[in-house]
Amino acid sequence: MWGPFFMTKRRKIINIIAQVAIFGGLAAILYCVPGLYFSLPVAPSFMTIHLDEIPILISGFAYGPIVALLELLLKTGIKLMTGSITGCVGELGDLMYSLALIIPATWIYQKHRNIKGAILGVGIGVFANLIFTTIVNLYTIFPVYKVAFSMKDGDIAGAFDAIYHWGVTSDEDIRIAVMLLPFNLIKDTIVVGVTFICYKPLRFVIEKINVTIPDKKKSEEVKLEEPKEVEENNEPKNE
């Protein structure tokens, strides 16, 4: 009675493990390997763009937000195990930024699996990411950075002012929030754009990541039926 139920659950668990391992591992490579990330002239050099969100967003569209969440946790865990040059502050920030973009986008697309659902999902995801990253950076990540690296007030503001020349001297100046927007908008545009370009060509591969467990009961039934068919074929003909 409970056999098919547990077989289905087992199949789902194995599929999730395979999906998380493949896409989470790829994201970890893009996140951890030096040279696979870069900075932009619109932000200080300590702010870099990683492409690790692309495979996670692709798999999140294919398999749902839970798989995407597990992949984000796996990627972050691998990065922390390989060592952090930011005292875990940067990795924690990256995790929160990715959650703000990927979870709303994949959750909405799971409810509306069409092009409109995808556009609506990434639109809300990008908007949530821009607001969230600005607030978190200004009032959480930057203050923690200052404590972790014994920075003085104005050091972060000075890094931004060297680019924009707005006369910002305090790290709590709200104008820093405006300076953060171009960087985050470019990053989100790259991630979303590459995801839309790659999703359709990779769809065949995505669909193949699906482990099939043979149904033992059905295979036994087939074996039992085989002798019967042979017996019927060997019946003597009536002359």
The radius of gyration computed from the CA coordinates of the chain, to the nearest angstrom, equals 25
Q: Where are the alpha helices (DSSP H) in 83-202?
A: 89-111, 115-136, 142-148, 155-164, 175-199
pLDDT over 80 at 197, yes or no: yes
Instruction: Name beta bridge partners: 38.
Output: 49
Instruction: Give the mean pLDDT of 229-239.
Output: 48
- Encode pLDDT of 198-219 as tens digits: 988 887 778 777 654 444 444 4
Which class is 7-213 in CATH?
Answer: mainly alpha
- DSSP 8-state class, residue 195: H
* Whole-number percent of the chain with pLDDT over 70: 85
Residue 14's pLDDT band (cuts 50, 70, 90): confident
Distances in whole angstroms, Cα of residue 160 to Cα of each of 56, 154, 176, 189: 30, 10, 7, 21
Distances in whole angstroms, Cα of residue 238 to Cα of each of 205, 228, 230, 232: 56, 20, 18, 14
Instruction: Give the mean pLDDT of 86-102.
Output: 90
How far is the C-alpha of 99 from the C-alpha of 105, rounded, in Å? Answer: 10
Instruction: Name beta bridge partners: 49.
Output: 38
Q: Which of 30-34, 60-64, 70-74, 226-230 has the lowest mean pLDDT?
A: 226-230
Share in percent of the chain as helix, strand, coil (round to 5): 75, 5, 25
The domain locations on the chain are: 7-213
Selection from 7-21, 146-160, 179-193, 210-224 with the highest mean pLDDT: 179-193
Q: Which of 38-52, 86-100, 198-212 has the lowest mean pLDDT?
A: 198-212
Q: What is the model's pLDDT at position 6?
A: 52
pLDDT over 90 at 86, yes or no: no
**Cβ neighbours of residue 37 closer than 8 Å, sequence gap 6 or more:** 30, 31, 48, 49, 50, 51
Show contacts of 197-202: CB within 8 Å, 24+ apart: 198/54, 198/58, 199/58, 199/61, 199/62, 202/58
Q: What is the model's pLDDT at position 217?
A: 46
At 31, the amino acid letter reads Y
Q: What is the model's pLDDT at position 30?
A: 94
